[in-house]
Amino acid sequence: MLSPELLKAAADAPGFMPDDEGTALATAALTVDVDGPLLEVGSYLGKSALYLAAAARPRGTTVVTVDHHRGSEEHQVGWEYHDPTLVDPAVGLIDTLPGFRRTIAAAGAEDVVTAVVARAEDFARIWSTPLALLFLDGSHTDESARRDLANWAPHLAVGGVLAIHDVFPDPADGGQAPYRIYQQALATGSYSELPGQGSLRLLRRDH
């Protein structure tokens, strides 16, 4: 079963993942039929990493988070989700890594969460381990969303789960880049859809 302590920590952690979607993500990670690490692209302050950790601990596997920790477009000055407390005054740039580390440490999850500070496309080039679950929740521009799918989907094991967050079919509800890569993945014929939750879509890689 999912770790109740880590589920509680995830629900209480700062971030934008609704609890019902986070629990659905954790459940998908717990029940996936293949072995391997769980990898997320885009970590912010660690909330979704804790939902994945709630599944990783009982599975005896690892959550790998990949984020440059300089924030997405919407976190920059003048954008909707800008938080001035996250700006490193020494360099004048967003730095979410200290907050991420506090979130993971406070939850007691440092044993199951491995943080990689890098651009996702750079790290993908040197990654070789088949993934049980791939969670795409990075920058939501079309270019970066397509790049994340192209670079990381080949690392997902057959039988593994591709999870995509912030999928909104109606443009009035949110940006369309995650929805478009969700459609792109389905159009390949390599995936079948699993029950999702809210804006979270779950796809199983069939071949």
- Check: CB of residue 51 under 8 Å from CB of residue 26: yes
CA 8 to mean position of chain CA atoms: 18
Question: What distance in Å separates the CA atoms of residue 181 and residue 87, rounded to the nearest whole number?
Answer: 30
d(CA 134, CA 150): 12
Query: How many C-beta atoms surround the C-beta of residue 129 within 10 A?
Result: 12
Residue 94 near residue 87, CB atoms below 8 Å: yes
Q: How many CA atoms lie within 13 A of 147 on its CB side?
A: 16
Is residue 165 among the annotated active site residues?
A: no
Measured CA to CA, the distance from residue 72 to residue 74 in angstroms comes to 6
Which one from 140, 155, 165, 207 is the annotated catalytic residue? 140
> Known catalytic residues?
140
